Structure 1
Amino acid sequence: MNQGVPVPDREHRMIADAQWNDAELIWNFHQMRHEPRPCSVAICLGSHDLGAATFAARQYHAGLFPTLVFSGGNSPTTAPLYPRGEAVHFREHALGLGVPVDAILLEPKAANTGQNITFSREVLRKAGVEVDSVMLIAMPYMERRAYATCRKVWPEVEVVCASDPLDFADYVKTIGDEKLVIDTMVGDLQRVIEYPKSDFAIEQEVPDDVLAAYERLLRSGFDSRLLTS
């Protein structure tokens, strides 16, 4: 993640205003807007965005959960950033932010969201942690897919989705690459649409205006993070 790199202002963006507006519509749809509340545990889903670990540490210090699982192995995108694995680097970051070592569990193998949740559930079981509610902490545009996946693979628990409460423009600033962010959001929306067909997630209703924005962005070439099969 390229912290502190400014996003181009309106006059210097690499994309048209209409594309930016379509992306912002999808950004808003991806967020569940759950009210933060105390949970049995939190699971922070690994990604390229270390900001999720920062936010998880902040939520721990706010007293919203006693146990925090960092989950994630590596992907082609994250391996150069986190060579020892997403969960390992996220854990180290949280320790540096004052989260005590005995509050953190590590799940270092997951390669997708379903595995993040399934493998973390097993880590919690082995640690003897009783769970009736879970806070899923992820990148802002991953909330809806994480929710849909958890409701499928762990339907017994109450799910609260949480992410750093940034607006779209501010989030793009933290990453420093507007096309990468939009490509990834488009890919996540494709997964929200397609994964229920393979029984990977529960179905989510996608409003017509969001679908139209998605199709326009696809036609404009925001497609580098689509499913390949």
Structure 2
Amino acid sequence: MKEGVPVPDRAERVVIADEQWNDARLLWNYHQMGHRPRPCSAAIGLGSHDLGVATTAADLYRAGLFPVIVFSGGNSPTTAARFPRGEAVHYREHALKLGVPGEAILVEPKASNTGQNIAFSREVLRETAVESDSLLLISKPYMERRAYATCRKVWPEINVVCASEPLELDDYVKAIGDEKLVIDMLVGDLQRVIEYPKLGYSIEQEVPEHIHAAYQRLLHAGFDSRLLKP
């Protein structure tokens, strides 16, 4: 079980058809940008329930891909109990255990959404005189595309490269332990990719017809617990 990820009530699990897994894989692949990690001026680790973001950040730091990282995130209803001192603080503690030196880590403890993660982290970098013309943006695997689209809106002049823990969908599902929840999250993030540009939160991303069709099929099948509230 991944550290920092809730263990679901196994009684709530549902049987998922092969066709639904196929649709979920389409969404999983679409959400990932396919960027090749390369050296950048700085990195941002986007806060969430998943310590895999901090683990990946530590791996990429040791690979020499950035000199400094901002871990960003406060508390949210889904992470407050898990990370009582805030997402960014717990990420920092995890990265320190994995050998990242304290002087390479900055903490942004107030952000409550992805736009704030990026905007507030940009200010932290500026306040600490870190010159940034390129950014390694580290997120959960299924959040790469939304993170990219948000960064291009909030910080359009930065050259952004996306990265996440290198997992296949099956491995991620095993790590989380709740098949339906993972598919719900894939559906919820795609809804945000579609809807957030209309609200001014992100740039528009092309959603191919076959991806949109898979999304609609999963919605109609009831994978909807992570949708935006009306």
TM-score of the two chains, using structure 2 as the length reference: 0.94
Describe how 1:119-198 pairs up with structure 2 within 5 A: 119-198=120-199
2:103 and 2:71 map into 1 onto residues whose CA distance is 13
2:2 and 2:89 map into 1 onto residues whose CA distance is 19
Describe how 1:77-156 pairs up with structure 2 within 5 A: 77-156=78-157
Cα-to-partner distance string for 1:132-178 (whole Å, 9 max, x where unaligned): 00000000100000000000010111000001111110111111111
Task: Classify the secondary structure of the residue corresponding to 1:64.
Answer: coil
CA drift of 1:181 comes to 1.0
Give yes or no for contact 1:2–1:176 (8 Å, CA) kept in 2. Answer: no
CA drift of 1:14 comes to 2.6
Cα-to-partner distance string for 1:59-81 (whole Å, 9 max, x where unaligned): 00000000011000111111111
Instruction: Give the aligned residue type for 2:213.
Output: A
Match of residue 55 from structure 2: 54
1:2 and 1:219 map into 2 onto residues whose CA distance is 30
2:139 and 2:223 map into 1 onto residues whose CA distance is 22
Task: Classify the secondary structure of the residue corresponding to 1:135.
Answer: strand
Structure 1: 4+ residue segments shifted above 4 A:
1-5
CA drift of 1:2 comes to 4.4
Instruction: Give the aligned residue type for 1:65.
Output: F
Instruction: Give the aligned residue type for 2:80.
Output: A
Task: Classify the secondary structure of the residue corresponding to 2:160.
Answer: strand
1:20 and 1:76 map into 2 onto residues whose CA distance is 28
Match of residue 221 from structure 1: 222
Task: Classify the secondary structure of the residue corresponding to 1:69.
Answer: strand
TM-score of the two chains, using structure 1 as the length reference: 0.94
Match of residue 14 from structure 1: 15
Cα-to-partner distance string for 1:100-138 (whole Å, 9 max, x where unaligned): 000000001111000000000001111110000000000
Match of residue 9 from structure 2: none
Task: Classify the secondary structure of the residue corresponding to 2:189.
Answer: helix
Percent of matched pairs sharing the same residue: 72
Which sections of structure 1, spanning at least 5 residues, go unmatched? Answer: 6-11
Give yes or no for contact 2:2–2:51 (8 Å, CA) kept in 1. Answer: no
Give yes or no for contact 2:139–2:164 (8 Å, CA) kept in 1. Answer: yes
Which sections of structure 2, spanning at least 5 residues, go unmatched? Answer: 7-12
Asked if 1:204 corresponds to 2:186, the answer is: no
Give yes or no for contact 2:72–2:111 (8 Å, CA) kept in 1. Answer: yes
1:140 and 1:52 map into 2 onto residues whose CA distance is 9
Q: How many residues align?
A: 223
Instruction: Give the aligned residue type for 1:168.
Output: L
